[in-house]
Structure 1
Amino acid sequence: MNRYARRLQSWTGAFAAAAIIAAGTPAAAQAPASSAAVAEMVRTYAADHDFNGTVLVARDGEVLTFESFGLAERAFGVPAANDTRYWIASVTKLFTSALIMQMVERGEIGLQAPVRTYLPDFAGDPSITVHSLLNHTSGLPNPDAGADPTKGVPMYQLPHTPAQLVADYASAPLAHPVGTHFDYSNADYYVLGRIIEVVSGQPFEEVLKARILTPLGMPDSGMLRQSDIIPRLASSYFRMGDDQPLINDLPVYNENWFAGGGMYSDADDLLTFAEALYGGRVVSAESLQRMLTPGLDDYGYGQWIWDIEAGGRKYPTYVRFGGVMGANAVLFRVGEANVTVVILSNTNLTDMGSFGRKVAEKVLE
């Protein structure tokens, strides 16, 4: 029985847990009839699209397929496994937005409050609000825009404190007036992470552990630091062009992605988080609805809201991508069908959005 199954048993009883398949084994007989078809579709897509990583698919809390492909580490030929941990990059933003909403519920933060309410020394535009940071309408320019990995990534090749990240990379003159354009930017979530630290009086990592990771039982998740040796963490590799070979990810200080992309996790933990978040155990129903209300570019707080069509129906689906060089992740949650798709990879060889959508469509057939 995998770790998620043990948690689910405590939530819903032994009958539900008996239907969960063991990590890395073929779908058990107790699983829904479609599990074999879903597993076969995943294997075929993985083989046809050079996928390297882990896939976990669940419906109504029951695991349909859970399988890993390829290598977690290429120099020594270490295979990917179901308990392999991956850098999840911008999937971190979903956790950050949930922490902000928890603090809104406690009355510690106001969504329409200007950033300077919490960061008096913030040098960015005074009209930027917490809400505009959450849905990427702050107008702050993206510090990663135009980055050329062939020339290195300077802002990530020297360590920065969260305060330095905000001062140096999230305080530039606005590219657009606040609230008028969707402009995806890690800078928004640097500022949100720093607000969490200042308001709570604790480092972001400690707040994340205390308010989400520990209460939910997510031992395989945390914040990356360049100096840390994290057991079972996949090494990442990327291709700079279609005709180029895979190379090691460039040397970077992972912690510089901070609240916008600095987390690692495994598939089990992300399923746990998805079940808890969308099941109302992380934030209130009102807060969750606010997170899932699409703004510009169909983006809510920390996630996109898409429609997936299957069987002649449209299903609202909540989607979170993450990608830095070879580290790539996607989380799909089909709300009313209670379908969760977690795909984690340590290469950039596969279109993760297409993979996630096709898996979700298969489950919904």
Structure 2
Amino acid sequence: MKGLILSGGTGSRLRPITHTGPKQLVPVANKPVIEYAVEDLKNAGITEIGVVLGHKGREEIQEHLGDGSDYGVEITYIIQGNPLGLAHAAGTARDFVGDDDFVMYLGDNILNEGISELVDSFEAGNYGAGIALQRVDNPQAFGIADVDDDETVTRLVEKPDDPPSNLALIGIYVFSPAVFDAIERLEPSWRGELEITDAIQELLEDGFAIDSHTVDGWWKDTGKPKDILEANRLVLQDTEQLLTGTIKDGAEVTGTVQIGESATVQNGAVIRGPVSIDSGTTIASGSYIGPYTSIGPNTTIDGAHIENTVVIGESRITCDEKIVNSLIGRASEIESAKGLLPDGHRFVIGENSNVKL
């Protein structure tokens, strides 16, 4: 079985963060989102992985992942070009997949429990496709599966006005090569895209059985700033202690904390986990880093109070202020300015920003 990670799209919902880089490289708990997909595939025994790239961010993703050897996998890059739908993206990988079954994983998803159960279930049966599902409160926003009393998939529909269930397709699929013939027969939907739900429906109508697995653990689509923060919170609450940096005498560090190599927590700084601090970062005296915060590499925090925030890295935050629920782009600078004394600030700012408070 092979793996396919979809990494196209423009990341419009994450602007301005994605004006200068692909959404799949935005870090969650100081690890780019796409690495979670690579790890899930490897943990399911899949080491031949195709990464489907669009027009934007292809160079950055290829530079970051390389040939896959750093992750114990072999990566092949496939150019989709214009984002014409998930089924179109899958169809571009036909030569890579060949006659093998394959997992298709949306590159901006994070799944708590991995994909091994979905893969094992598919391999144990005779299916045209397997789909990961989760119950959602807003099924109108998703592709939805209709199932019978035996939990057999009977129908799929994309973003229905009148959903037949609340079981949403969450962006992780297993396919037999038969899906490529189904994709060839598709017509664009009202959105102008080739929908993967339509392709699976074609398989159903061709007589193929569709396997399904309802995800019990959490799942996040990291397409919006609030989703990045929520995914960061969920990942951090399951992390383990890792202290490879330096904690000076007089610093106060409690809870589950990760401090990367060459990072320093100075005397008088306070850290309340769960927190992740990447390599080369300095947390200066008088700073407070509160729960569910990730500070990226080569960053300086001096005097600020930061909670439930992702600082992507290479930034300087030197204000004596409270920053909460924020997503701060790479190479940003936030410093104090006289005369402004609000109780707190909330940011979504892009790379190379300069904010005065």
User: What is the TM-score of this pair, normalised by structure 2?
Assistant: 0.28
Determine which structure has more spread, i.e. the larger CA radius of gyration: 2
Q: Does 1 or 2 have the higher relative contact order (CA < 8 Å, sep 6+)? A: 1
Select the structure that is richer in helix. Answer: 1
